[in-house]
Each structure stands twice: as structure tokens, then as C-alpha cells.
Structure 1
Amino acid sequence: MTKQNKAYKFRLYPTEEQAMVIRKTFGCVRFVYNKMLAERKETYESLKDNKEALKKVKRPTPAKYKKEYEWLKEVDSLALANAQLNLDKAYKAFFKGHTKFPKFKSKRHKQSYTTNGVNENIQLLDGYIKLPKLKMVKIKQHRAIPSECVIKSCTLSITASGKYYISILTEYEKEIETKDIEKVVGLDFAMDGLFVDSEGEKANHPKFYRQMLDKLAVEQRKLSRKKKGSSNWDKQRIRVAKIQEKVANQRKNFLHHKSKALVTNYDAVVIEDLDMIGMSQALKFGK
């Protein structure tokens, strides 16, 4: 038996008071992350010529800032601790050459925070989920989580249109069975339609974004005419965000159905290792 992880994503319907706490936690997590990153950069610049002294420097922690910024105590401490872990992971990935140097977080980036399951502080109860600092939050649980799954952590996020979601990471034990590979399919990237398989079948991607271009252009023109920051501008911004979210959801749904069909019908799927971002920049793929 080996331990496996599986995540379940559900829509949340917090009250105004709960939503305010969630948004406050987003801000505190971003603040602590940026504070720690700024301090670590400053320390590195001052001691980069003295590697021995640099190794002895203690890394900043969220607890350090709580004395100066009392309002950090009002949010989930586990969320702040995870901000420190995320920064550590970003640094390790950078020094291994996997990513670029960690950047400061801004309000424009995805807003989210992660809390951990400790002593049953996270529980699912009849259409509600119990969360640290939030108590009982209404949840639309469209699928059941098996009883053998243990909740390890939860990540709360908000979309550009103001919808709240929670991703629940669970852990369970499963016996991995070996399978003989009989049916194999190869997938080749195609500019028109996503991919072509080794049997000549095309994915026939519907091009959801291009279908929505005219409608999106109209709504974006309306947004450009509004005074930024006004209530009408915010309402129009949400209309634009909803269109973009719909396109993203259509893409996800299409890809889920295609991937499910592939793993159902074949024992192995072979794809070419392509740098899609590099190709799009070099060949000017555009949209």
C-alpha cells in the first residue's frame, strides 16, 4: 500500500463577515511573503561576499512581524506559516535552476491562502465546512469525499469575478497494480485543433476564445470608457471577468473529457516534449 494524494475543488458561499476575513487573510499572506522576501534579499546583498556569515543568518518568520504588526494575529497563523514555506520552496527551486528568482506578490496576481488540517480543525458537515478563523462556511459539495481520505490542507481562492473556491487536498492509501501495456497511442501537436493522434484522429479543439472574441471586445470597450475605480467600472470589470472565466472553464472541460477518453481507451499515451511558450514566441503564434 502506498500513500496517494487527491484534491477536490468546491465552490464556497461565505457570509459578508467571512468574506472580509478571507480577503484580509489574502492580504496578510501577501504582506508577510513580501516582507520576508525583501529581508532575505537585503541580507543576501549585504553578506553575499561572506558565505559563512550568510549561512548563519536566521531566516525571517511570520512570528517576527506579529510584534510590530498586531493585525497579523487576527488571521489564520497556519496561512502565514505556509507563506514562509512557499518562499522557501521558491528559493530552493531558483538555486536548483528550475525557476527564476522569487518575485514580490501583488494584488493583481491570484489571491489565495493555504491552511493545514490539525486536530480536526477542518471538517465537512452537511453542506458546510469548518475552517480556522471562519467557523462554518457554506459549501457546494457536488461530489463526496471517500471516508478513507484524510484532509491534509485546504487552499481558499477568489476569482476575478468575485467567486470563492476551496481546494481540499486529501491523503489515502492505495495498492498500485501493474498493468500490461497493449494499446498505445502517440499524440502530435497540431496548430489547428490541438493534436493529431497516431491513428490520424484530430482533437478538433473548438477554439472557445475565438468564438467569444467579438463579445469580449464589446465588453472591454465599455470597460475602457468607465472611470477606473468607480462602481460602474467595477461592475463592468466583473462582466469582462465572467466572459474570460467562461472561456477558461470551457477549455478545462474540453481537456478533461479528452484526457479521460485517452486514459480509458489506451494503456499508454506518448507525447513529444515541446517548449510551447518558446515556440509561440519564436514563431509568433499569437492567440
Structure 2
Amino acid sequence: MEKAYSFRFYPTPTQESLLRRTLGCVRLVYNKALHLRTQAWYEKQERVGYTETSSMLTDWKKQEELEFLNEVSCVPLQQGLRHLKTAFTNFFAGRTKYPNFKKKHQGGSAEFTKSAFKFKDKQIYLAKCTEPLPIRWSRQIPDGCEPSTVTVRLHPSGRWHISIRFDDPTIKPLPVTDKAIGIDLGISSLVITSDGDKVSNPKHFKKHYRRLRKAQKSLSRKKKDSNNREKARIKVAKIHAQIT
């Protein structure tokens, strides 16, 4: 059974530079593909799929103004196109809204499949990185687990996290049962089951509300595109991270 573990890590300056360029390239490729798919539909009523956008990516990497796409691993770029395909599939099925363009201030993520990373001596080596990521291993990885995908994420607060998906043989499927239970989401209690069990509401938002409101007011007063506004934005993002 697959299970994902999330850890915080602290990249070296060289690693952070490469990762930020990778996230920027993933965002650029995703947004270009989204724009072209949208344009094709509104102008020609044609649907452009993953196969077409993958071919476009090959052509983009040959263009002089986009040569920098070759400086990062191609796997996260392809995975970004696959995520766009999934976003459109969910949209046409009525499960989500129309896909949005990715923005730099939102952080970003890059997914690496098995061909783009190495797991050796319980260390993660990403493609084009000569040193392992300095991961803060906050929990024990079960023996015998092999990672299938690795997702690197930069939060708006500036913190780096890595999500590692393992195929964990120690997890056994739960037994099949005919019993059903009702769950109600409340305010005073976060969860109330039909059996009478209650889970109290930790009220994280209430705890940090004053700090968040003060930080948001400070952000609104800062001059757009200034260094002080960027510092204020990061402060707001850090408070949001504490709430969630």
C-alpha cells in the first residue's frame, strides 16, 4: 500500500538555486500549455491533450529564448503537463473549476519520478544535484520501503518541504465490514459521529486571528513591488502556515 511522508528540508545555496529555477520552469511550461489549450478551444474549438503539449515542450526547448529549460530535469516539466491534463479531466467531469495560471508568489512544486531521483543510504539525490538533500527526518522510514515519487514544494512562507511516496509493505488492508457510521462537522466540536464520539475543535484560526489581521493590515499598507511588501507577504504566509 502506498503512503506519503512529508519532511522539511534545508537546501544548500546551490541546491536552492537549482530548485527555484526548476519551479520557475515548471510554472512557465504549465502556464504556456494552459494558454495554448485555452486559445485552441476558444479560437478553433479544438481540444489539445497531453500528447500535443508534450511535443510542444520538445519544440520549446529548441528555441533560443527558452534554452534555459534544458538546465533543469525534464521529468518535473513532463509531470507538470500531466497535472494539467488531470486538471482538465476533473474540470470536464464537473469536479473542479477551470484550471488557473500558476503564480510565483504562491511558491510551487516539482514532482520527480523514479528516473529523476536516487534513494541511497536513506538519502534523496535529485536529478542534476550532486549532493543529497539536507532533509530533517522527523520520523522513521519503515525498512524495505522504496520511494516511487518525490515532490519538492516551496511554500509562500519560503519554507521547503519534500513529500516522499513509498510503497509500504508493512501496511495491511483494513478488514471489510458492513458497519456504517455518520459524521457531522460542527463548530463547538470539530467532528461528531453517530456513535456519540466527539473530536474537539482545536480552533487554530482563533488562536492566530489577531496576529493574522495585524499582519494583513500591515501588508495592505506597503508599496506594491517593494522589498517591505515582500517581507510583509512572507510574514502573512507564515501565520497561514501555522493555522493550517
Q: Name the TM-score class by shorter chain.
A: 0.7 to 0.9
CA contact (8 A) 1:40 1:59 kept: no
Question: Counterpart in 1 of 2:239?
Answer: 243
Question: Counterpart in 1 of 2:83?
Answer: 86
Alpha carbons of 1:219 and 1:89: their partners in 2 closer, same or farther (altered >3 Å)? closer
Alpha carbons of 1:190 and 1:104: their partners in 2 closer, same or farther (altered >3 Å)? same
CA contact (8 A) 2:106 2:155 kept: no
Alpha carbons of 1:40 and 1:243: their partners in 2 closer, same or farther (altered >3 Å)? closer
Question: Counterpart in 2 of 1:146?
Answer: 142
Alpha carbons of 1:171 and 1:243: their partners in 2 closer, same or farther (altered >3 Å)? same
- Structure 2: state its 5+ residue gaps: none
Partner SS, residue 156 of structure 1 = strand
Alpha carbons of 1:43 and 1:13: their partners in 2 closer, same or farther (altered >3 Å)? same
For each residue in 1:19-75, what CA deviation from the matched residue of structure 2 results, as whole angstroms up to 9, or x when unmatched?
Answer: 111111111111111111222222333432xx7xx6899612221210111000001
TM-score (norm 1): 0.73
1:86 Cα deviation from its structure 2 partner: 1.0
Counterpart-to-counterpart distance in 2, 1:221 and 1:36 = 36
RMSD over aligned CA atoms reads 2.7
CA contact (8 A) 1:30 1:106 kept: yes
Partner SS, residue 201 of structure 2 = coil
Counterpart-to-counterpart distance in 1, 2:147 and 2:71 = 24
CA contact (8 A) 2:50 2:85 kept: no
1:110 Cα deviation from its structure 2 partner: 4.6
Question: Counterpart in 1 of 2:127?
Answer: 132
How many pairs were matched up?
238
Alpha carbons of 1:198 and 1:19: their partners in 2 closer, same or farther (altered >3 Å)? same
Question: Counterpart in 2 of 1:196?
Answer: 192
1:200 Cα deviation from its structure 2 partner: 3.9
Alpha carbons of 1:213 and 1:103: their partners in 2 closer, same or farther (altered >3 Å)? closer
Counterpart-to-counterpart distance in 1, 2:237 and 2:197 = 34
Alpha carbons of 1:106 and 1:178: their partners in 2 closer, same or farther (altered >3 Å)? same
Q: In structure 2, which of residues 57, 72, 78 is the aligned counterpart of residue 75 of structure 1? A: 72
Question: Counterpart in 2 of 1:18?
Answer: 15
| Percentage identity across paired residues of the two chains | 33
Alpha carbons of 1:60 and 1:181: their partners in 2 closer, same or farther (altered >3 Å)? closer
Counterpart-to-counterpart distance in 2, 1:223 and 1:46 = 40
Counterpart residue identity of residue 215, structure 1: R
Matched, 1:104 2:98: no
For each residue in 1:179-217, what CA deviation from the matched residue of structure 2 results, as whole angstroms up to 9, or x when unmatched?
Answer: 5567x6532232332232334443221322122222222
1:80 Cα deviation from its structure 2 partner: 0.6
Question: Counterpart in 2 of 1:47?
Answer: 44
Question: Counterpart in 2 of 1:35?
Answer: 32
CA contact (8 A) 2:187 2:201 kept: no
- Structure 1: state its 5+ residue gaps: 249-287
Partner SS, residue 153 of structure 1 = strand
Task: Find the structure with the greater CA-based Rg.
Answer: 1
Counterpart-to-counterpart distance in 1, 2:85 and 2:130 = 30
Partner SS, residue 153 of structure 2 = strand
1:227 Cα deviation from its structure 2 partner: 3.0
Counterpart residue identity of residue 53, structure 2: P
Q: In structure 1, which of residues 56, 59, 65 is the aligned counterpart of residue 52 of structure 2? A: 59
Question: Counterpart in 2 of 1:265?
Answer: none
Matched, 1:114 2:111: yes
Partner SS, residue 60 of structure 1 = helix
Counterpart-to-counterpart distance in 2, 1:16 and 1:55 = 38
1:7 Cα deviation from its structure 2 partner: 0.6
